[in-house]
Amino acid sequence: MLLTDLQQYQIYLASKSPRRRELLAGMGIDFDVLTTDVEETYDPSWSPEQIVMHLSKLKLSPIDMAQYDPQTIFIACDTIVVVNGQIIGKPKDRADAERMLKMLSGNSHTVYSGLTVATPRKTLTDYRATEVFFDNLSDEIIQYYIDTYKPFDKAGSYGVQEWIGRVGIREIHGSFYNVMGLPTRLLWQMLSDIDH
C-alpha cells in the first residue's frame, strides 16, 4: 500500500497554508513543513491551468534538491479562483473581500489548483479544476461572514469548509478538497507515480 511505501521517504510540504497541512495530515501521510518565499509572477497571457502549474513549480524553485537524500519528496500547491474570466486572489482588505464575495454571489466560478510533486531525480506537475456555484448572498450574509471568519488569507475571500460554504454554496462540480486548497485524489495518484 502507498502509505507503507511512503514511510521510506522524508516528505516536505512547501506551504504556509493550515488547510493544506490539515488535508495532507488527514491523508495519513507523515511530513514536515518547508516554506519558501518566492515572488509569484507569471505571464498574464497564460491560461489558468498554465498559471497554477507554473506557480506550484515556482514554490519549489528556491530548494536545492541535490542537497537532499534521493528518498525525499517535496509537495507544492497553488490555488487561484477565476470568475467571469478574471483571476481573483486573496483580498487586500475588508472592502476587497466584500467586492469579491459580491462577484461570486449568484454566480459560478472555477477553482484551479496546480500541484507539483518532486524528488531530487523526478518532477511531476498537474492541476485540477472545480466549478463552484454560489446562491445569491445577501449583504447581511457577506458582512457576517467577513466579520466572523476574516477570510483575508483565502483566494476568492472564502473557505468552502467554513460557514459560508455550508449556507451559500448550491453545487460543486469536481473535487471539494481542491476548493479547500489541495486536490487530494490527484496528490495520491502523483505520489504513487513518483514512488515507481
Query: Mind telling me the catalytic residues?
Result: 78
Separation CA 112–CA 139 (nearest Å): 27
The set of cell numbers assigned to 26 is 488527514
Nearest to 125 by CA among 45, 64, 189, 34: 189
172 has which bridge partners? 132
The set of cell numbers assigned to 24 is 495532507
For residue 60, give the 3-state DSSP assignment: helix
The set of cell numbers assigned to 88 is 481573483
HSE (CB half, 13 Å, CA atoms) of 171? 7
CB-CB contact of 68 with 104 (8 Å): no
Quickly count helices (H) and strands (E) in the chain: 8, 7
CB-CB contact of 184 with 25 (8 Å): no
The set of cell numbers assigned to 23 is 488535508
